[in-house]
Structure 1
Amino acid sequence: MKSYLKISTAALVIASASVGIGINPAFAQQGAEEQDRGIADIVVTATRREESANRVPLAITALGGDALSDLNVTKFDKLIEYLPNVRAASRGPGASSIFIRGLSTDSPGLQIAGTAGAQPTVALYINDAPASLVGRNLDLYAVDLQRVEVLAGPQGTLFGASAMGGAVRYITNKPDTSAFSAGFNSSYAFTKGGEESVAGDAFINIPVIQDKLAIRAVFYTDRQGGYIDNVAGTFQMPFNANVGIAGKLPTGNPLLVMRAIQSCQATATTVVANCNGSLYRAPTRQTINNDAFVEDNYNDATYRGGRIALTWKVTDDWSVDLMHVRQELDTDGVFDFEPDVGDLKVTKFNDNSLRDRVNLSTWGVNGRLGALDLIYTGSFMKHRATQVADYAGYSNIGLYLPYYECDKGVYYTASYNGNIGNTCYAPNKTYQVRNRTERMTHELRITTPVDKRLRGTFGLFYDDNKLFDNTDWSYLQEAAGFIYRRAPNGVVNANDTSVRPVKVGFFNDVQRQDKQFAAYGEASFDIVPEKLILTGGLRYYDEKASINGSSNSSFGSNNNGATGKPRGVYNATTGTYSSAATPTTIYQVNVNMNQLYADSSPAKYNGVLYKANLTYRIDDRSLVYATYSDGFRPGGFNRKPCSVGTATCPTNADFVRLGTYVPDKVQNYEIGGKFSLMDRRLQVNFAAYQIDWSNIQITLFDQNISNQTFTTNLLDARIRGLEGDVTWRTTPELTFNGAFSYNDSEMTKYRKNTTVLRPLGGPLALSPKFQFNARLHWEKELSSGLAPFAQIGIHYVGKSISDVIDNVDIRYQSSNPTLGYAAAIPVTYNGVTVRPGDVIVPIDGAQNLGSYTTAAMSFGVSKDDWRLEVFGDNLTDKRPELYKSGNDGELRTTTSRPRTIGLRFSYKI
């Protein structure tokens, strides 16, 4: 597939080595020339005030805009992925979940993340605008930024909901009213075994009225070539009856396995000794191929977009800032490969694509009222993501898939005596996700003079966040009699009222809304001026979470009283189906959330978050501190509650309240220090912490409890960690950067009686014990004005697991719908005894992620306003296991781009 990609993973490793939790990396801010051999400082707004990072008693990574540009760090998820103590569960661009300090449990499939997924544990901000999404990340292209700030640990008092693991902030360059400037970057790269890539970005800053009014515009395009091949393959409804093979059970689709085993079930009058499946006729299974989709290097990604900003200095004390961001992200193919198929290879049988669009508008007023600084900011974000994916693999694990894809004779087996067919048709399936997020925020903040012994920041915050999810699952087979097109049922007010294609057998039409009002404050008092400072903060929050809409299916009786006819009329002679005299035209409302939660939605949650900090300043650039801080994540609703005693719910009363889940919370205890040594040539930072995480929200697809994915409060955990970094400017030309993190996470308590989680005492997901990175950077200006430079970096990540969910296995039922009676007695199949509750198909939810080390380097030369650079990433061409998933019954691994070599040129005026 034709596409052109911008390097960046190389820069990524280099960048990762240059920054670490709590550090202001050398060369992070190069706007002002250094007066000596010391390490350059960087100003941050992590405390909602402008302050030197070395004076902030907080574990913070700040990477300046020049460093981002110089190091070619443009992709958000790649930047985060390589920071110590930060991990990502990723299935490609625009499809990542970000975690800090090990606050991670699971990552549900993208097809249900919008409706059933929990809120993120890390808050994303663009300047002062919250921009987090449910189920995926806002993968904003990092260009023309002043800096990126990564705040580790709970930031609940100042940044509110979902900042329980930390916050990531993009700080953009504002228009400069004093001078004209412009510049561009361009790059070309090629990837081993993959396609070439090209990228370009440019900015222009125009003072419209000198020192009063200015406009700044940024534009970019980045076309990244693919490196994963879709190879030829075939697929059918999986089933191996193992008839007559002593000691072997059937394997494959859970329902087909269950039917084969149940055919050996004894009755009061019949005993089937050492049964070999004599009462079960294995179905004929059709095969599909992917000939139409075979393609080398088919996982392309293209970023296109821009930003325009305006700054108006109304008076010396008042100014207005406006900004609009637009980005289009398009991907084709998949970004995780199947190890069972081959290195960087998959077999996909339908289209796989993402069309991601975001428009973000922000506005702000900054001014002074006497001695007080007043800041008002507002934002409106509209985000759309349309994702189409091959879903053939769901036949591996979907308990009811034979009902949709096979003749009735397969599903009901002996009940129909084979008179209504015994074929499973081509398992050609897709799903389409259409998520739309609309988010409006307003914030008013007042700060008192920073030079006073008692000073503070106080604010009010309002957030209205709506998510519209329309997801269609296309798995019905016309050959199996599903021949009707249907529209949403009129008993619900659907967002999308369109008539669905014939193959759509199930769809969600859901609106989630989270409204938040908060009042917060943080005040500092100098117990000993400029030496011992006590800081206290709190945030009162009032959350309202609501859900509306419906889940809809293609079978059963409709809510208006009419009997649904999911299949057409069967002709036993021809084996085909024709339309009924009164064919169904609307879907059954599987769950009407408007009615179901009429008395409980919105759910209301309120509370107070606290923060306390004691800081001792050793000198102007060194300090030690101790902190206590809180964080939380909003609660919400599930599509379908579980009722004890029903066929789809266990008798375990712990799961009776699946309709809602409540907020989960963290408490953080932390000590740390920042030390500037050797006349500012050596900077050492560290933080040690314990985080207690309670009532953890976990998203599950457990067909033994519910046939729909749900989120519930299932677990408590404890995390103990140590993180640190070192920057050493050994000479004016040579700088060493290193950073590490050690995390010891442990699951401590089950909130519900469950068998789906890994054993207590085990670690949380994506939380390796140890990570580190290191970089050497050399640069020297020659008498000619040329400045050659070179840098090399390595990055190490230890072993971890992908999920805390141990299994979501299908369990053998105690009832037998096929034969029409219940039996609690064991069944013997090929000499193997099977009891109700035994596992039929083992699917490992938690995959082991191996440790890995990657290396990168770059070298080049600069002079005045231009820079030329050659770079290389993943130099040893490793396949690090960044993330693994078995959500669709297939083991898939997300890995880094193979070895990439590129050339980059930059120019500024």
Structure 2
Amino acid sequence: MKINKIAFAVLTALVASRAAYAVDDTTPSTANAPTSATATTPTATSPTAPSSANGANNANTLQTVTVTAQHTVQDVQDVPITIQAFTGETLQQMNVTSFNDLIKYLPNVTLAANGPGQGNIYMRGLSTGFLGNQSSATIAPFPNVAVYLDDQSMQFPARNLDIYMVDMERLEVLEGPQGTLFGGGAEAGAVRYITNKPNLTKVSGSAEASTSVTDGGAPSNSANAVLNLPIIPGTFAVRGVIYNDHQGGYIDNVPSTFTRQPTDGGGAMAPYVAAGGTSVFNNYPVAQKNWNPVDYQGARLSALWKINDNWNFLIAESYQNLDANGQSSTYPVGADGQKLGTDQITAFVPAWNNDHFTNTSWTLNGQINDDLSLVYTGGYTNRRISEQQDYTNYSRSAGGMYYQCTGTSAGLSSAGKPICYSPAGYWNDHVTSTHESHELRLSTPEDDRLRFIGGLYYEDFNIDDHMAFNYLTIPSCTPGNLAVALGGGAPCVANAQSSPGVNVPVGTAFGENAQRGYRQEAAFGSMSYDILPNVLTATVGTRYYHYSEWQTGTEFYTTTAQVNVPNGTYVGDDTAMNYHKSYHGFKSRANLQWHIAPDMMVYYTFSQGFRPGGFNRTTSGVAKLDGEPQYQKPISYAPDTLTNNEIGFKGTFLDDRVLLNASLYDMRWDNVQMQFFNPLVLGNTTFAVNGPNYKVDGLELQFQGRITDGLTLIGSGSLNHAKQTNSPCLVNNIPGSAGYNSCIVQTGAAGAVTSFANPFGVEGSTPAFSPRSQFNLRLRYDWMFAGGYNAFWQIGANRTGSMYNQPATYPSGAGVTNVTTVELRYLQAGYTTYDASVGVAKDNWNVSLYGTNLGNSHASVFTSSAQFIESQVPIRPRVLGVKLGFKF
């Protein structure tokens, strides 16, 4: 197998650096992270080999980990919420480099994604479905799970940043509302990526390289290197990491044709087929095997300055480029109705997703006096996204053929003989965003009986989205084409423009140039009091927030006014957006912790969370009955809110050889934001409203046991019962219309009236992405043998129960071949995966063999009709690999 050449160069450089710049390795480290504790030991869910454990713990016992989930340094077993924490060492042991790798170890967490950097994280089943990526930067609600890189918020609508996990101190997954300390994005929970910080006293480094093969796919390889240098020992140090990861593709874009059928467009295509005026298109130029490779490339450089014994300053610069080619989805049935094989697709245009970000962060950490500490942290993130995806299957809808056919009333132009042009279509999205944040925190000593933490927060988040749907294939009105059209020949259509006269690409039928974002100011505080020192503690806290939210720009589209007129003449139609609103309020929490023994705690937690609201692009009338609209789409939708009541137990037994954590929770999710896209009834653009309420009752367990000195069993699982608790309806809100202020129950034209199902769902129905159960189990054995070798083997299994991709009242996609909406409801079957690894280490070197998805499951983790065809995002097939590492 071929190992990336970068690995050998990196290894050679690090060995040379080690020889040239030797510092006593026994010097203790004093460079703890300014805003978080340095986790030198593995987590409660992921212990390491006894030989690699640091700290005071006996090698025969379970190890501890410190976290900063409450902006204070704590043992994870003392945090009164459900939390899962993984150290960097544990992430390496489990071969985790992305959140997609980690998800199998996280009960109560699901991920809906169209590919790397293209999805939403959900916790405890709090979801109303996922619509895919087209226009998501403009139309998608903000996520209800926050993502943080150290102290910087990385949230984004429908596109959680896919941070590559290398040189990580730890990763924390906080379940339940975190609205008091982490604000509006942390309604259902938060994911915190904590990076390693420079060490002031110790030269250290590492390098790692791997290569692997994927069943039925192309090879993969990766390399990364870390170097820590105390420039002024004890005072100033820098730390750098660089990485390159190539993941070979495994989805085949198979050769196919696209043949128009009489049933296309709800039967509107029949006259064209009868007249012989259709076209057949093929994908031969883009058909290829393994067409979905992914590359992560990036670097991070940080510097820590110890100003004096009381103050230090940290600055870090991160860069990452994610380049995903092709598509991560497969089709069970191809474009011409042919049954496809495993991991196959029929796509007709080039596809890619390039996601680039840079992040600058800084932290000042100090002691004002003996009774007051200060932390100021800030950050600035710049993210750029360029994505193109196939949209050819939209051509089978009435909307698609309208822009591709002429000669009958079903097309954009009724002039000339019936003819349809190429069905090939795609959407192209260019997004830039900036995210600036500042937080100032003050706190009193953590060992005081009465202690406080409080702070101020400011955030400025901006998105600029240029989205074009390019499925207009009727010829453009160039001078030559226009002359033919005006002479009685085939019609042409002028290129669209967006106010105030911005040209858009040839072939664009619809799109938007939109800007959106918000500014947030917040103040928060928390107070803890030891009612009985080391036994009973009460905590209360609250957060005041003020959001100023906005959306501007235009939505543009092509109309009949653009038929047979010169290009460059502004005759298109568009809708201007200039929306602003603000809202404010309080979100609070309260905890009661009782240590019934030094190593056993029970707790009760009350917590509240919310997520920001948003705007719709248009306010057109929809749900027409006899030609008259019954519903006016609202300009905006409000925040939704979550209230959590949770009781839990955390304890260790048998001299710290067994750990058991359990939590029971009742969550009420109210005024929930819900999106609709049903072109046949609710208009041809997605819009969001506030709708139903949901209730989630659940149980989560975490277990860990040191069976023998080297054998450890680790497991966790969740069981949820989630349901809708009310049944609102879509109310006629157009004054003067028949049925005003009552539920809409019928739509359609005279003589063809049909019933209208309540789009919000019925009481008792199950929300999307809410599996009933999830669990995982791992067994690890570490031992030593002659010659100073340390060895290990590890096996694991993960089970995710079945779940739906959309709410209960959305139309079922089972057996549907003529897709007319992106909201079809599919059952994603439950699945189980298996992983294993074995390795050996000696001195500074280690090597391991690993395998993931050993059962070669092809289960879908996200099934949808977002591209007007059933698509499935499969698990990566079986992977077998080897990894080589060196550290000093």
TM-score, normalised relative to structure 1 = 0.84
Give the SS at the match of 2:607.
strand
Tell me, yes or no, if structure 1 residue 256 matches structure 2 residue 268. Answer: yes
Instruction: State the AA in 2 paired with 1:526.
Output: D
Tell me, yes or no, if structure 1 residue 662 matches structure 2 residue 638. Answer: yes
Does structure 1 retain, via aligned residues, the 8 Å contact 2:404–2:411? no
Query: Identity of paired residues, percent?
Result: 33
Greater Cα shift, 122-131 or 472-481: 472-481
Q: Counterpart in 2 of 1:411? A: 410
Shift of 1:489: 2.7
CA distance in 2, matches of 1:842, 1:518: 40
CA distance in 2, matches of 1:198, 1:546: 44
CA distance in 2, matches of 1:352, 1:280: 30
Q: Counterpart in 2 of 1:51? A: 74
Q: Counterpart in 2 of 1:489? A: 499
Aligned residue among 178, 182, 186 for 1:159: 182
Q: Counterpart in 1 of 2:788? A: 785
Instruction: State the AA in 2 paired with 1:77.
Output: N
Q: Counterpart in 2 of 1:382? A: 382
Shift of 1:842: 7.9
Does structure 2 retain, via aligned residues, the 8 Å contact 1:736–1:776? yes
Q: Counterpart in 2 of 1:221? A: 244
Shift of 1:583: 5.1
Aligned residue among 514, 517, 522 for 1:513: 517
Tell me, yes or no, if structure 1 residue 471 matches structure 2 residue 467. Answer: yes
Q: Counterpart in 2 of 1:311? A: 304
Q: Counterpart in 2 of 1:592? A: 576
| Cα deviation digits, residues 778-801 of structure 1 (max 9, x gap) | 001224210111010011111111
| Cα deviation digits, residues 11-67 of structure 1 (max 9, x gap) | xxxxxxxxxx99443229944363242100000000100111111111110100111
The change in CA–CA distance for 1:852 and 1:334 in structure 2 (over 3 A counts) is same
Instruction: State the AA in 1 paired with 2:587.
Output: L
Give the aligned CA root-mean-square deviation in angstroms: 2.6
Shift of 1:553: 1.5
Tell me, yes or no, if structure 1 residue 210 matches structure 2 residue 233. Answer: yes
Aligned residue among 652, 658, 663 for 1:676: 652
Aligned residue among 587, 590, 607 for 2:585: 607
Shift of 1:283: 6.7
| Cα deviation digits, residues 119-165 of structure 1 (max 9, x gap) | 00100011111111112111110000000000011110000012111
Q: Counterpart in 1 of 2:543? A: 539
Q: Counterpart in 2 of 1:866? A: 845
Give the SS at the match of 1:542.
strand
Give the SS at the match of 2:136.
helix
CA distance in 1, matches of 2:452, 2:627: 52
Shift of 1:252: 2.9
Tell me, yes or no, if structure 1 residue 856 matches structure 2 residue 835. Answer: yes
Aligned residue among 148, 153, 160 for 2:171: 148
Q: Counterpart in 2 of 1:552? A: 556
Instruction: State the AA in 1 paired with 2:771.
Output: P
Q: Counterpart in 1 of 2:118? A: 95
Shift of 1:369: 1.0
CA distance in 2, matches of 1:645, 1:99: 31
Tell me, yes or no, if structure 1 residue 323 matches structure 2 residue 307. Answer: no
Tell me, yes or no, if structure 1 residue 797 matches structure 2 residue 800. Answer: yes
CA distance in 1, matches of 2:820, 2:471: 21
Q: Counterpart in 2 of 1:394? A: 394
Shift of 1:746: 0.5
CA distance in 2, matches of 1:772, 1:808: 30
Q: Counterpart in 1 of 2:615? A: 637
| Cα deviation digits, residues 788-830 of structure 1 (max 9, x gap) | 11010011111111111643799xxxxxxxxxxxxxxxxxxxx
Instruction: State the AA in 2 paired with 1:664.
Output: D
Does structure 2 retain, via aligned residues, the 8 Å contact 1:794–1:855? yes
**Structure 1, unaligned stretches of length 5 or more?**
7-20, 241-250, 261-276, 492-496, 557-563, 569-579, 811-838
CA distance in 2, matches of 1:535, 1:617: 14
Shift of 1:590: 1.9
Instruction: State the AA in 2 paired with 1:588.
Output: G
Aligned residue among 192, 195, 216 for 1:172: 195
Aligned residue among 439, 442, 448 for 1:443: 439
The change in CA–CA distance for 1:788 and 1:364 in structure 2 (over 3 A counts) is same
Does structure 1 retain, via aligned residues, the 8 Å contact 2:780–2:793? yes
The change in CA–CA distance for 1:26 and 1:404 in structure 2 (over 3 A counts) is same
Q: Counterpart in 1 of 2:342? A: 343
Instruction: State the AA in 1 paired with 2:188.
Output: G
Q: Counterpart in 2 of 1:234? A: 257
Q: Counterpart in 2 of 1:181? A: 204
Q: Counterpart in 2 of 1:139? A: 162
Does structure 2 retain, via aligned residues, the 8 Å contact 1:649–1:706? no
CA distance in 2, matches of 1:80, 1:123: 16
Does structure 1 retain, via aligned residues, the 8 Å contact 2:405–2:474? no
Aligned residue among 602, 605, 610 for 1:627: 605
Does structure 1 retain, via aligned residues, the 8 Å contact 2:265–2:399? no
Instruction: State the AA in 1 paired with 2:690.
Output: N
CA distance in 2, matches of 1:328, 1:72: 20
The change in CA–CA distance for 1:434 and 1:625 in structure 2 (over 3 A counts) is same
Does structure 1 retain, via aligned residues, the 8 Å contact 2:726–2:762? no
The change in CA–CA distance for 1:283 and 1:670 in structure 2 (over 3 A counts) is farther
Instruction: State the AA in 1 paired with 2:67.
Output: V
Shift of 1:890: 0.9
The aligned runs of 1:720-735 (5 Å cut-off) are 720-735=697-712
The change in CA–CA distance for 1:482 and 1:658 in structure 2 (over 3 A counts) is farther
Does structure 2 retain, via aligned residues, the 8 Å contact 1:455–1:525? yes
The change in CA–CA distance for 1:593 and 1:665 in structure 2 (over 3 A counts) is same
Instruction: State the AA in 1 paired with 2:803.
Output: S
Aligned residue among 275, 288, 292 for 2:285: 292
Instruction: State the AA in 1 paired with 2:344.
Output: K
The change in CA–CA distance for 1:659 and 1:890 in structure 2 (over 3 A counts) is same
The change in CA–CA distance for 1:840 and 1:487 in structure 2 (over 3 A counts) is closer
Greater Cα shift, 374-383 or 859-868: 859-868
Give the SS at the match of 1:293.
coil
Give the SS at the match of 1:110.
coil
CA distance in 1, matches of 2:195, 2:628: 52
Does structure 1 retain, via aligned residues, the 8 Å contact 2:822–2:864? no
Give the SS at the match of 1:111.
coil
CA distance in 1, matches of 2:795, 2:852: 10
CA distance in 2, matches of 1:4, 1:207: 29
Does structure 2 retain, via aligned residues, the 8 Å contact 1:807–1:843? no
CA distance in 1, matches of 2:133, 2:327: 13
Q: Counterpart in 1 of 2:417? A: 421
Instruction: State the AA in 1 paired with 2:243.
Output: Y
Give the SS at the match of 2:72.
coil
Q: Number of residue pairs matched?
A: 798
CA distance in 2, matches of 1:682, 1:221: 39
CA distance in 1, matches of 2:295, 2:105: 22
Does structure 2 retain, via aligned residues, the 8 Å contact 1:648–1:707? no
CA distance in 2, matches of 1:635, 1:311: 38
**Structure 2, unaligned stretches of length 5 or more?**
7-41, 334-339, 476-489, 731-756
Instruction: State the AA in 1 paired with 2:131.
Output: P
The change in CA–CA distance for 1:506 and 1:53 in structure 2 (over 3 A counts) is same
Q: Counterpart in 1 of 2:506? A: 502
Greater Cα shift, 89-98 or 307-316: 89-98
Shift of 1:509: 0.4
Instruction: State the AA in 1 paired with 2:303.
Output: L
Tell me, yes or no, if structure 1 residue 117 matches structure 2 residue 117. Answer: no
The change in CA–CA distance for 1:106 and 1:149 in structure 2 (over 3 A counts) is same
Q: Counterpart in 1 of 2:36? A: none
| Cα deviation digits, residues 220-261 of structure 1 (max 9, x gap) | 000000110000111134x43xxxxxxxxxx3323727xx7x
Give the SS at the match of 2:403.
helix
